Amino acid sequence: MANYLVVKPLFEVGKNDHRNKRNRIQKKIQEDIMKIQNVTDASFRKYGKIITEYSFEKILKEMEHTPLPKDVVYVPSVEELEVLPEAAEICKKGFGGLPIQIGYCNGDNHKLNALEYHRSSEFDIAQTDLILLLGMQQDIEDGDIYDTAKVEAFFVPAGTGVELYATTLHYAPCTAQEGGFRCVVVLPKGTNEELPFETAKEGENRLLAAMNKWLIAHEDAQIEGAFCGLKGENINI
């Protein structure tokens, strides 16, 4: 009996190649999708805690009147929020009587772009669902370099307030629902205001972008005047 070499039709070989390529791409996409955890997870505890001691009902109601732009806007201090009775409770119980400012960060954002830290805790209160991208100051390497592969994502449900510890790296929230996000931001008074003095361009001082604000940016974000020390991907959610 003659021996025959069985050759698959070219169209079938091509079809299998495309199928294999598609499977590889799908696998890569799954690997690249960032795991989004919840602030109720134990993994959040090194970054902060959920605030349960007092209500934010009136503050969240007032936030409904704040703008929701297509980009991101941050306003450090809003009088309409700071005169509410809940603000006095936050000042006393949350910051031990230190003067505070209550503002907001609103918009539609899907990228990391930068990370910052303060010498104090920050309270973030989600008026809408949102996602926080977080890291740890302890992971900043020599030369003020930070690897974005260490960043973790956490979902914050609407109506939830969280305290971010002083050592927690953070920046603008990311969008978790269609239309964007609204987030109340509470910090010691004066934080994020323009510096009244010149800063040295070396050491940690080169990160000082505003009062009580040390910032490390990603070069893709092109933040004017910021030190670009984030290495790796500019995370996109």
What does the domain layout of the chain look like in residue ranges?
Answer: 36-231
Structural contact between residues 196 and 71, judged by C-beta atoms closer than 8 angstroms: no
Q: Quick check: 8 pLDDT over 50?
A: no
233 class by beta-carbon count within 10 Å (0-12 exposed, 13-18 middle, 19+ buried): middle
Pick the CATH number of 36-231 from 2.60.120.10, 1.10.357.10, 3.20.20.10, 3.30.365.10: 2.60.120.10
Q: Quick check: 10 pLDDT over 80?
A: no
* 24-28, 42-46, 143-147, 170-174: segment of lowest average pLDDT: 24-28
Longest CA–CA separation in the chain, Å = 97
* 45-54, 91-100, 198-207: segment of lowest average pLDDT: 198-207
Q: Quick check: 135 pLDDT over 50?
A: yes
Q: Which pLDDT score is estimated for 200?
A: 84
CA distance 57 to 159: 8
Q: Quick check: 6 pLDDT over 70?
A: no
Q: Which pLDDT score is estimated for 14?
A: 52
Cα–Cα separations (whole angstroms), residue 34 to 158, 171, 174: 21, 17, 13
Q: Higher pLDDT residue, 42 or 14? A: 42
Query: Which residues lie closer than 8 Å to 34 by C-beta, 6 or more apart?
Result: 153, 235, 237
Q: Quick check: 22 pLDDT over 90?
A: no
pTM: 0.86
Q: Quick check: 66 pLDDT over 50?
A: yes
- Indicate the pLDDT class of residue 112, thresholds 50, 70 and 90: very high
Q: Which pLDDT score is estimated for 58?
A: 97
Q: Quick check: 175 pLDDT over 70?
A: yes
CA distance 141 to 162: 27
Structural contact between residues 107 and 113, judged by C-beta atoms closer than 8 angstroms: no
- Indicate the pLDDT class of residue 21, thresholds 50, 70 and 90: low
Q: Which pLDDT score is estimated for 32?
A: 54
